[in-house]
Amino acid sequence: MLKYLNNLLQTFRSCFSRQATFEWFVVLVVGFMLRSDHLGVTSVIRDFSLNGRCYETLLHFFRSSGWSTSSLRQKWLQVVRQHAPLLVIQGRVVLVGDGMKQAKEGRRMPGVKKLHQESENVSKGDYIFGHLFGAIGILVGDSRKWFCLPLFMNLQDGIQAILGWKKSASEVETPSHVVQMIEQGFEAAKGFGQALLLLDRYFLSVPALERLKACHLASETRMHLVTKAKSNVVAYERPLRKSRGVADRRKKAGRSN
C-alpha cells in the first residue's frame, strides 16, 4: 500500500518548482488521510508529532507561488484516468455533482455569508451563515460496489471581495452556483473525452442549459446531463396545424400537460 501511494504521489512532482514544496505537499496529503480529527493543519501536526514551529510553515505552503491549483487538478485527472477503475456507460464516464452548505460560526471567516436552505428537512433552519461548496466526483469501483471519487471542490459564493484584491471589477464577477457546477463538470469531462453528469433537479435551469450549450460550441468534448425535472415543470404538445400544413403563427405551443 505504501509503495503504491508513493508511486502515485511521485507523479505530482512536476507540479512543484521546488523539492521542499513537494515534500510538504506529501506531508499534508498523508496527514489528511491519517488524521484522527478535523482541525485542519493542527490535526496534521498533532498526529505526526511535528514540532509546533511547523504550523506557520504549513500555512505558508497554501500561499506558495511554487505550485498552482490548476496544474494539480489536471495532474489529478490524469492519475484518475490511468489508475482508477472507472464506470463507463456507452463510452462515457459518469460524473456526479452537488453543492453543500456548511454552517460556520466564525464572524470574520472568509467566504462566510447568509445562505438559504432549500432542504425539505424540518430540522434545518431556513437560513444559515456558512460556506457554499460545489464538488464534482466520478464513479469508480466494480459491479459489487460503486464509489464517488472526488475530482475537485471549491467555494462558489461569498469570495468576490477576496478575488477583487488582485483582479479588476470585470474579472471579479462570478457566475451563479448552478452555472459554476456546469463549468466544473465540463472541465472534468475534458479529461475523459465523453461524460454523463448526474445532478439533482435543483441544477436544471435555463442558465445551466445555456452554459452547457456554449461549452459544447467551444469544444469537441460532449457532456450529457442526467437529472429529474422540477415539480413545477410544464410540458406542451405541438401546436395544431392548419389544413394546408402550415403551423398557426398565433400559437407557439399546444395544450399543456
Q: How far apart are CA 66 and CA 17, in angstroms?
A: 5
Co-location of 144 and 244 in the same domain: yes
Question: CB-based burial of residue 199 (10 Å sphere; 0-12 exposed, 13-18 middle, 19+ buried)?
Answer: buried
pLDDT tens series, the chain, 257 aa:
788 889 999 999 999 999 999 999 999 999 999 888 888 899 999 999 999 889 999 999 998 999 999 999 999 999 999 999 999 999 999 999 998 888 888 777 888 888 887 766 667 778 888 888 999 999 999 888 999 999 988 888 877 766 666 666 555 567 888 999 999 999 999 989 899 999 998 888 889 999 999 999 999 999 999 998 877 777 777 776 666 555 545 566 666 66
Supply the pLDDT for residue 229.
80
| Structural domain contains residue 63 | yes
Q: Which three cell numbers stand for residue 221?
A: 468534448
Q: What is the count of structural domains for the chain? A: 2
Q: How far apart are CA 94 and CA 85, in angstroms?
A: 12
| Structural domain contains residue 104 | no
Q: How far apart are CA 195 and CA 184, in angstroms?
A: 12
| Structural domain contains residue 8 | yes
Q: Print the domain residue range for 4.
A: 1-67
